[in-house]
Every structure is written in C-alpha cells, then in structure tokens.
Amino acid sequence: MLSYRHSFHAGNHADLLKHLVLLALVRKLGEKDKPFTCLDSHAGAGTYDLQSANALMNAEYESGIARLWRQPVKSSLLQDYLHCVEALNPDGELHYYPGSPAVARWALRERDRLLLLDLQQEEVDLLRAHMRGDARIAIHQRDAFEGLLALTPPDPRRGLVLIDPSYEQKADYQRVVDCVHKLHRRWPVGILAVWYPLLGEARDRSEWLKKALQQERLDALSCVELTVSPQAPEFGMHGSGMLLVNTPWQLERVLEDALNEVLPRLGTDVHFSIETLSESE
C-alpha cells in the first residue's frame, strides 16, 4: 500500500493552484443551466485539520492558504475560493482546509453530481464521514485509473475530471497519459484537469508529461504552472502545474487575474505561466 497522505501537505502552494483551477472550471460549468458531473480521481479525506500532527509536521499551509487568509482580494475567483475556506472556519480562525471534494461540493448546484474515488481505506472512511448526507455525491473505493474509465461518460454528460495522483510511483506519469488518451475518446466533451508536481532537476518529469499529452492531439490543451522557488538540482518541489483538456473559453483570463493577486502574497521569487499547447478543432 502506498504511504502518501495529503494531510501532510494540505493548504500548501500546490493546493492553492489546484483548487483555484478546479473552482474556476466548476464555475464555468455552472454558467449554463444544464447540470454537470465532476469526478475526482484521488479524493483523499475531503477536509483537513490544519492543527493535526500531520499538518503541523511541516506546516506547509503557512506558505499557502495562510498567506491569503482574511486578506482583501479583488478577483471574483479568489473571493469564491476564500469563501469556500471560510465556510469550514466560521469562527474566523484558520483551522480546517477543504480538499478538492469539498471545493467542488461548495460550488455544486442541486442537480449537479460529484463522483469521488480513492483506494486507501483510511482516507475513504474520512471521506465518507465528511461527505455524509449529500445525495449529490457518490464515493467509490477503487483504483483511480480503472474507476475513471468505468464511470465515464457520466450522467449528466457535461462535466470534468480532476486527475491528481501523488506520483509516488514513476509509472503514474504513463498511467496518466494512458488514462487521458482513453478518457478523451470515451468522453470527448469532458474537461480533463491533470495536476502534476514540479520537482528537482534530477527527478522532474513535467516536461515529459506535457510533451506526451501534446502528442495525443487533445482538444484545447493548455497548461498553468505556479513556482514558488528556483528549481533545486535534485530534491524538493518548487511548484506545480495543471494540464487542461477542453479548456473553457476565457478561463486563462480568469486564472491570470487571480494569480496576479496571489504572487506578491506568496513571496518574492514566485511566478506563474499560462500556455496554450493546442487549439480546439
């Protein structure tokens, strides 16, 4: 069994990017009256206690969500993101942080659906407790890559998939490429959002992943990256990225407005980029 637990990293800079992009996508889907389905491949516990022993071990949230907490922002996307976090912390103290399932659920409407996948028993038990009583949500304890293919195309057919493995195993990179290839052919209208880490030079595979997905000739492929420090020679994660298939119209502008506000709050050596890798056919 793999050892990864997201509770050690909840609320860090990578979560900030992933959840801003996820929320922006869900908001775009919500602009139309028709219902949609959101799928999360590695859902985790759903909600995280930032005062737990795991979270406090490295206190990664202090260089992420804590830099934005209770700060005035202009971007409507950032405002919604902070409202989502505030909903878990009604006393005004930053104690809990929403994982991807909680971010998506916060933005769902009554007719929308959320399908959550995770394989680890401990995480699934916590996820069921955190999502209890919401008829819009279904939780599946199964392998993410197998499960996504089994559950798509979903009903409602409009929607998105968040694919965010831990990449503990190098094979995950190829599994992501294979999964995206199959998903796009099974569900051509689905928005696919792939998170990936930016690692030390000796271990980084982000460029390989981007080139591999470019070769798949995917529709409206784009890339968003956020870095918070220079790349190290070998170890460490200096940033992260999101690869998007079927990128919604004008999403880049929404993300650019939000990230321009984020940069000065995260530090002095923080950068983001948004790149179009392929156009819509």
Q: Which two tokens stand for residue 129?
A: 């407790």
In sequence order, the β-bridge partners of residue 226 are 240, 272
CB 52 within 8 A of CB 104: no
Residue type for position 68: L
**Residues tagged active-site:** 164
CA gyration radius, the chain: 17
Neighbours of 178 (CB within 10 A): 14
Closest CA to 54 of 104, 105, 12: 12
- Classify residue 277 by burial, with Cβ atoms within 10 Å: 0-12, 13-18, 19+: middle
